[in-house]
Amino acid sequence: MSAVVTSGVGKVFPTKDGDVVALTEVDLEVAEGEFVSLIGPSGCGKSTLLRLIADLDSASSGTLEVFGKTAHQARVDQDYGIAFQQAGLLPWRTVAGNIALPLELHGVAKAARAARVAELAALVGLTDFVDRYPDQLSGGMQQRVAIARALAEQPRLLLMDEPFGALDEMTREHLQTELARISAESGAAVVFVTHSIPEAVFLSDRVVVMSPRPGRITDIIEVTVDGARGEALRESPQYFERVTAVREALHGVPTERANER
């Protein structure tokens, strides 16, 4: 069974100046355990598509299934975990309290909760910070807490909306490597929204290229990698070749390289 299947999905936002078509005719299938990035310029509907999968908005047309259920049912059943561009931590809860939030909402017993929080804190490397409050953490650490929270209930699908978008380049690359490891370990499928080409290529099995007005899928680029995704990948010719392929798909024409000018 696929993690996500969309067919002919569209989304129209009614506004004062008439309807805005955010998405049209989106057909996409995400296999279990697969890492798929959605990339495209602003307004291409990549975040909208993610919100439709998460049932935070509902599609205007087409059908959308998450593990064979409706998006609504999948949300109620907690089949996915989610992380946003803003970490969205509750400032009055400690790191442990924030990670435990989904567990708490679903009535997991206190002892089991504490054990799971310790496990997750170790996974994202924040064991020494569980008693801190969010405003005592750096942006990168806050985002790790958000990822730990998304993983709290061992979801088979992880939805991420530009989770590293507000971070500096060094932190960003570091967290990408960690996410590659975590997603490989957990075996969860990931739908990852980004506007960074290298980020998409580094993390994904497939990169879905989208285009605005109206938002739609224009290309899907496979990224096959031998072995684990680690720092070495960032310097391999294969990686650069895929980065170029995605860039050309985004811009529609082969890009002129500086040394060919």
| Angle value at C-alpha 34, between 8 and 223, nearest 5 degrees | 95
Binders of other proteins among residues 84 to 123 (CB under 8 A) are 84, 86, 88, 90-92, 94, 101-102, 104-106
Distance of CA 4 to the CA centre of its chain: 13
Q: How far apart are CA 183 and CA 175, in angstroms?
A: 12
The span of 12-20, 83-91, 196-204, 211-219 binding other proteins (CB under 8 A) equals: 83-91
Closest separation in Å from C-beta 137 to other proteins: 11
Judged by beta carbon, residue 56 or residue 225, the one nearer other proteins is 56
Size of the residue set binding other proteins (CB under 8 A): 25
Q: How far apart are CA 57 and CA 67, in angstroms?
A: 18
Q: Does 201 bind other proteins (CB under 8 A)?
A: no
The span of 15-23, 27-35, 52-60, 187-195 binding other proteins (CB under 8 A) equals: 52-60
Distance of CA 2 to the CA centre of its chain: 17
Closest separation in Å from C-beta 86 to other proteins: 5
The span of 27-35, 49-57, 222-230, 232-240 binding other proteins (CB under 8 A) equals: 49-57
**Are residues 147 and 120 in contact, defined by beta-carbon separation less than 8 angstroms?**
no
For residue 131, what is the DSSP state?
A: T
Closest separation in Å from C-beta 32 to other proteins: 20
List residues bridging with 193 in a β-sheet. 38, 161
Q: Does 226 bind other proteins (CB under 8 A)?
A: no
The span of 5-13, 60-68, 82-90, 110-118 binding other proteins (CB under 8 A) equals: 82-90
Q: How far is CA 116 from CA 109, 127, 180, in A?
A: 11, 12, 21
| Angle value at C-alpha 68, between 204 and 12, nearest 5 degrees | 75
Q: How far apart are CA 5 and CA 139, in angstroms?
A: 33
The span of 81-89, 112-120, 122-130, 198-206 binding other proteins (CB under 8 A) equals: 81-89
Distance of CA 161 to the CA centre of its chain: 5
Question: Quick one: which of 28, 49, 54, 100 contacts other proteins (CB under 8 A)?
Answer: 54
Give the residues lining the site for other proteins (CB under 8 A): 54-56, 75-78, 80, 82, 84, 86, 88, 90-92, 94, 101-102, 104-106, 133-136
